[in-house]
Amino acid sequence: MHIPDGFINIPTAAGFGAAAAGGVWYSIRRAARFLDDRRVPLAGLVAAFVFAAQMVNFPVAAGTTGHFLGGVLAAVLVGPWLGSLALTVVLVVQGVFFADGGLTALGLNIFNMAIVGTLGGYLLYRGIIALLPKKRPATVAAAGVAAGLAVPLAALSFVLQYAVGGAGGASVGTVATAMGGVHLLIGIGEGLITALVVGAVLASRPDLVAEAPKVKVMAHG
Amino acid sequence: MDRRLWWFLGIGLVVALIVAGVLSGFAADDPDGLERVAIDEGFDETAEDHPLADSPLADYAVEGVEDERLSTGLAGVVGVAITLVVAGGLFYGIRLYGKARRGKEAS
């Protein structure tokens, strides 16, 4: 769902770009409070993995594909602030080196995927996990469901941008229906991949997962 | 840093390289969700050419490499490396920034 240049007019792109910059700066401030030596390479790896996974488009309907977003995965693995920054790096690299996503549209894309898709998706995760027992399968399920919902959420964020400054003539209602529908389908793939990866990391190194259920340590003696 | 963490990071990097270097060559080619909606709703033509469309890695292909899967895979491997360096640099910088701030608050 990388927006190319031209879909959204420049003033709108600038406005959402400013909002995205604010979100990125806030994420930096929050991440700086707790970032330790261990999490630096870990968060770098999460960004690299999200870049890799975003390359693999999978078919969702006749003639339509979707690809992994990774915001909720990153937030669950390294926390929301490093997660949104990881997504921001991926989007900048894609836009600057791979001509994927426009340059004036970079702020729009960061807003949709790194802010709404990651921080918004993380809020969904927190809402879901609050209703579930603090156990490993619940963490995996909550991450999967939140990731699945974060995709249509990010798509609706695009619809908002289209409503404010879209260059196209199609009505906002039709675009909203079409974007929501196809991204609900893409969200199924997103949820499955997220659950798979979160489950695998929780099984091997739960101590590295920011959102791992806290195990009560039994006192000895 | 403990050796087990480096093992985990190494395995994670290998997985990322396999996904970007090999699996990417088997990705579906059709338009993604947004592109599909833009085509169906008739606003795909409002897209402008990317200003860096002629860059050597544009559209996840390495300029001059004919074989499509190889070209995509190589671009993917380079992309993983670039992302790792940029993200690692950013996070290392934030780590230093946080250390400096905490130091200031403590004094």
| Span A37-51, average pLDDT | 96
Q: Confirm if B104 and A118 have CB atoms less than 8 A apart.
A: no
Q: Are the Cβ atoms of B79 and A42 closer than 8 angstroms?
A: no
What pairing do the DSSP bridges indicate for beta strands A58-61 and A64-66?
antiparallel
DSSP label of A59: E
pLDDT tens digits along A167-184? 999 999 999 999 999 999
| Span B48-64, average pLDDT | 96
**How sure is the predictor about A214, in pLDDT bands with cuts at 50, 70 and 90?**
confident
A35 closest CB neighbour out of B15, B27, B98: B98
CA distance linking residue A106 with residue A20, whole number of Å: 9
3-state SS, residue A163: helix
User: What DSSP assignment string belongs to A128-140?
Assistant: HHTTS-SSHHHHH
CA distance linking residue A127 with residue B99, whole number of Å: 32
Q: Are the Cβ atoms of B46 and A7 closer than 8 angstroms?
A: yes
Q: Identify the domain containing residue B94 by its residue range.
A: 3-29+60-106
Whether residue A156 is predicted with pLDDT greater than 70 in this model: the reply is yes
Residue B104: per-residue pLDDT: 79
Of A1, A48, A40, residue with least CA distance to A185: A1
Residue B69 resides in a domain: yes
Whether residue A217 is predicted with pLDDT greater than 60 in this model: the reply is no
- Domains annotated for chain A, with CATH where assigned, are 10-208 (1.10.1760.20)
| Span A127-134, average pLDDT | 95
* Exposure on the CB side of residue A10, measured as CA atoms within 13 A: 1
B58 closest CB neighbour out of A7, A58, A98: A98
CA distance linking residue A74 with residue A209, whole number of Å: 10
Q: Confirm if B32 and A66 have CB atoms less than 8 A apart.
A: yes
SS3 per residue for chain B: CCHHHHHHHHHHHHHHHHHHHCHHHHCCCCCEHHHHHHHHCCCHHHCCCCCCCCCCCHHHCCCCCCCHHHHHHHHHHHHHHHHHHHHHHHHHHHHHHHHHHHHHHHC
| Cα A193 → chain centroid | 13
Residue B3: per-residue pLDDT: 87
Kindly list the residues from chain B whose CB atom is less than 8 angstroms away from the CB atom of residue A66: 32-33
DSSP label of A8: B
Kindly list the residues from chain B whose CB atom is less than 8 angstroms away from the CB atom of residue A109: none
Residue B100 resides in a domain: yes
Residue B70 resides in a domain: yes
Q: Confirm if A103 and A43 have CB atoms less than 8 A apart.
A: no
**What residue has token string 């229906």?**
A177
- Tokens standing for residue B88: 């690692």
Q: Are the Cβ atoms of B51 and A55 closer than 8 angstroms?
A: no
- Tokens standing for residue B31: 């338009």
Q: In terms of CA atoms, which chain A residue is nearest residue B76?
A: A52
Residue B48 resides in a domain: no
- Tokens standing for residue A85: 């920054």
Interface pTM, i.e. ipTM:
0.96
Kindly list the residues from chain A whose CB atom is less than 8 angstroms away from the CB atom of residue B34: 1-3, 155, 158, 179
Q: A56, A81, A85, A193: which to substitute to probe chain B, counting the most B Cβ within 10 Å?
A: A56
B34 closest CB neighbour out of A3, A43, A52: A3
B91 closest CB neighbour out of A40, A55, A205: A40
Residue B103: per-residue pLDDT: 82
The CA-atom distances, in angstroms, between A22 and each of A172, B2, B16, B48, B93 are 27, 35, 30, 27, 18
Residue B20 resides in a domain: yes
Q: Which pTM value belongs to this model?
A: 0.96
Residue B39 resides in a domain: no
Kindly list the residues from chain B whose CB atom is less than 8 angstroms away from the CB atom of residue A35: 91, 94-95, 98
Q: How many CB atoms lie within 10 A of CB A141?
A: 18
pLDDT tens digits along A80-104? 999 999 999 999 999 999 999 999 9
Residue B53 resides in a domain: no
> How many separate domains does chain B show?
1
Q: Are the Cβ atoms of A51 and B60 closer than 8 angstroms?
A: no
Q: In this prediction, what percent of chain B has a pLDDT beyond 90?
A: 90
Residue B1: per-residue pLDDT: 62
Of A35, A16, A143, A137, residue with least CA distance to A86: A35
